[in-house]
């Protein structure tokens, strides 16, 4: 979150799914919330600017102080640490503080995104702009050493004093004052009253596995669960035309349902229950056929699994002076807020695609998840089928070619990587020449009592793995 400028930031939102041995799985909700507590309603909806980017084939997002939502990731991390943590709080921050203070290389994915928005979005704050651009105003080349001013100091402050300094102390004051000066709605009351919410995880049984993921009001977990249930009978060692046809129909049905029902629902939980019931009864395919993130997965040899997905949207471009913290644009992700932000009261949680998962079978624990905007659910679904139902080793399951049913734009289509024997189907194909970051960036970690650890990071994005003690 601190070394991927443009892709994510510490002042964003996150979900943490944890499954400890002998306990029920939970998801800790630290997603962005709508700001504006204590403000006159006439002061809401100001200080934002719409920008059009060529990124991703063309998109519109909203930036500026008025796009900033209440950041919840740190509250979720602290809540998870208090319940499950085994090391002192400051120790969690030491590696990040060291890397940020010394400087870190600008990743290829960050450079790619900043090439589209370095001026339009990340030119809004002087300190942030100088961190990413050279003296000629050009985005620094990939691999350049990035020094974000004051960020290490802010992390040290949080390490010493806990999350409350972010929500009630000087960092809270700096963030709120900066946003309010620009007519945004983030108040000190928004920050002081924010709490991460622990919920029972949504679970589904696939063969001998039980899979736990993000429950409503987020929509990503419900969509992923329905996809898994609709494809529960897929088996074999690899994808043939018949199984790919089932996959495409399941993705199309679930994403159609989301577009037509979930995104506009007053009660996401009730609509999600209908979707999952239809998928579990085998009725989904007949009944309904027709946004930037990072992820970390971890397991240990005691049977605990943790999956964390975090996002700051496309970035607001705002960095309060002296903090090094790029603020999110949670209110500006147009594709996630189809009902309009004005329909949500201050304090309400924002919609989300994120679906961090932990799965358990006898003697085995698996943590898995991915970034990728609307490809989060389809990417995670295919990798879960690859490893749990087809028996692929984790690295092979993650690297296997993927497809995505794209319902955006003027017509529906299938985006596909090379190497899939696609069936004849009534959708045009958009072929990719190679594995591409468009299809997510799955990270997975697994521990088996008999075979030990297995870890895999997606070749589509810059990522890494580590097995401690080996």
pLDDT tens-digit readout, 308-357: 999 998 899 999 999 999 999 999 886 666 555 566 789 888 878 889 99
Supply the pLDDT for residue 264.
66
List of E strands, 49-201: 49-53, 59-63, 104-105, 145-146, 197-200
| CB-based burial, 243-282: b 16+ in 10 Å, e otherwise | bbebbbbbbbbbbbbbeebbbebeebeebbebbbebbbee
Residue 283, CA distances (Å) to 128, 249, 253, 259, 348 in order = 51, 12, 10, 18, 33
Is the model's pLDDT at 212 over the cut of 90?
A: yes
- Strand, helix or coil at 369? strand
Question: In terms of Cα–Cα distance, which of 401, 126, 120, 354 is closest to 247?
Answer: 401
Please provide residue 333's backbone torsions phi and psi, each rounded to the nearest 5 degrees: -80, 90
- Per-residue pLDDT band for 140 (boundaries 50, 70, 90) equals very high
Question: What is the average pLDDT across 58-84?
Answer: 94
Quote the tokens at residue 153.
């100091």
Is the model's pLDDT at 287 over the cut of 50?
A: no
Higher pLDDT, 463 or 36: 36
Supply the pLDDT for residue 343.
62
- Percent of the residues in the chain that have a pLDDT greater than 70, as a whole number: 94
Supply the pLDDT for residue 57.
66
- Per-residue pLDDT band for 288 (boundaries 50, 70, 90) equals very low
Angle between helices 220-230 and 241-257 (to 10 degrees): 150
CB 446 within 8 A of CB 455: yes
Supply the pLDDT for residue 341.
59
Supply the pLDDT for residue 278.
77
Global confidence as pTM = 0.91
239-267 tens-digit pLDDT: 999 999 999 999 988 888 877 777 767 77
376-433 tens-digit pLDDT: 999 999 999 999 999 999 999 999 999 999 887 778 899 999 999 999 988 999 999 9
Is the model's pLDDT at 285 over the cut of 80?
A: no
Q: In what order do the strands lie in the sheet with 429-431?
A: 403-406, 413-416, 429-431
In sequence order, what DSSP letters do the residues of 263-302 get, joined into one string?
TT-S-HHHHHHHHHHHHHTT-HHHHH----EEEEEEE-TT
| Structural domains of the chain ordered from first start | 13-198+297-343 (no CATH), 204-291+357-457 (3.60.20)
Supply the pLDDT for residue 253.
87
Q: How far apart are CA 82 and CA 1, in angstroms?
A: 20
191-200 tens-digit pLDDT: 999 999 999 9
Supply the pLDDT for residue 336.
62
Residue 375, CA distances (Å) to 234, 438, 442 in order = 20, 8, 11
Supply the pLDDT for residue 292.
65
Supply the pLDDT for residue 290.
34
Q: Are strands 413-416 and 429-431 parallel, antiparallel or unpaired?
A: parallel
* Burial status of residue 19 (CB atoms within 10 A of its CB: 0-12, 13-18, 19 or more): buried
Is the model's pLDDT at 282 over the cut of 80?
A: no
* CB atoms inside a 10 Å sphere around CB 303: 16
102-131 tens-digit pLDDT: 999 998 888 988 988 888 899 999 999 999
Segments in 123-197 forming alpha helices (H): 126-132, 151-161, 164-167, 170-181, 188-193
Segments in 231-385 forming alpha helices (H): 241-257, 268-280, 284-288, 376-384
Residue written as token pair 């609709």: 230
Say which residues have a Cβ less than 8 Å from residue 204's Cβ, sequence separation at least 6: 210, 211, 225, 228, 229, 276
Supply the pLDDT for residue 291.
43
């Amino acid at each position: 979150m601190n070394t991927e400028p443009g892709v994510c930031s510490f002042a964003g939102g996150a979900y943490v799914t944890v499954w400890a041995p002998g306990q029920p799985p939970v998801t800790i909700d630290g997603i962005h919330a709508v700001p504006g507590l204590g403000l006159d309603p006439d002061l809401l909806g100001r200080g934002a600017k719409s920008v059009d980017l060529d990124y991703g084939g063309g998109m519109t997002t909203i930036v500026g102080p008025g796009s900033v939502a209440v950041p919840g990731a740190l509250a979720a991390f602290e809540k998870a640490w208090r319940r499950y943590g085994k090391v002192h709080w400051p120790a969690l921050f030491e590696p990040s503080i060291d890397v940020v203070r010394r400087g870190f290389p600008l990743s290829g994915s960050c450079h790619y995104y900043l090439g589209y928005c370095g001026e339009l979005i990340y030119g809004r704050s002087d300190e942030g702009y100088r961190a990413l651009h050279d003296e000629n105003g050009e985005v620094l080349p990939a691999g350049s050493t990035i020094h974000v001013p004051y960020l290490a100091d802010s992390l040290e402050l949080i390490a010493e004093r806990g999350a409350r300094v972010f929500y009630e102390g000087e960092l809270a004051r700096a963030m709120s004052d900066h946003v309010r000066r620009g007519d945004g709605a983030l108040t000190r009351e928004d920050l002081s009253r924010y709490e991460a919410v622990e919920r029972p995880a949504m679970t589904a049984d696939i063969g001998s596995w039980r899979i736990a993921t993000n429950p409503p009001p987020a929509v990503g977990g419900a969509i992923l669960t329905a996809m898994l249930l609709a494809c529960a009978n897929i088996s074999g060692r690899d994808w043939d035309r018949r199984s790919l046809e089932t996959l495409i129909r399941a993705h199309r049905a679930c994403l159609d349902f989301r577009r037509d029902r979930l995104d506009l629902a007053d009660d996401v939980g009730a609509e999600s229950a209908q979707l999952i019931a239809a998928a579990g009864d085998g009725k989904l395919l007949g009944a309904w056929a027709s946004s930037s993130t990072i992820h970390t997965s971890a397991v240990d040899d005691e049977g605990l699994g943790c999956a964390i997905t975090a996002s700051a949207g496309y970035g607001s471009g705002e960095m309060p002076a002296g903090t090094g913290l790029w603020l999110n644009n949670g209110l500006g992700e147009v594709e996630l807020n189809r009902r309009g932000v004005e329909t949500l009261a201050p304090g309400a949680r924002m919609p989300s695609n994120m679906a961090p998962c932990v799965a358990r079978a006898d003697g085995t624990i698996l943590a898995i998840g991915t970034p990728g905007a609307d490809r989060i659910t389809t990417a995670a679904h295919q990798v879960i089928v690859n490893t749990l139902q087809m028996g692929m080793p984790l690295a092979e399951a993650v690297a296997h070619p993927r497809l995505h049913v794209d319902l955006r734009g003027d017509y529906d289509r299938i985006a596909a990587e090379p190497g899939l024997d696609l069936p004849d189907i009534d959708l045009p194909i958009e072929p990719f020449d190679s594995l591409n970051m468009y299809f997510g960036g799955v990270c997975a970690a697994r521990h088996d009592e008999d075979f030990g650890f297995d870890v895999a990071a997606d070749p589509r994005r810059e990522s890494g793995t580590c097995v401690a003690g080996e």
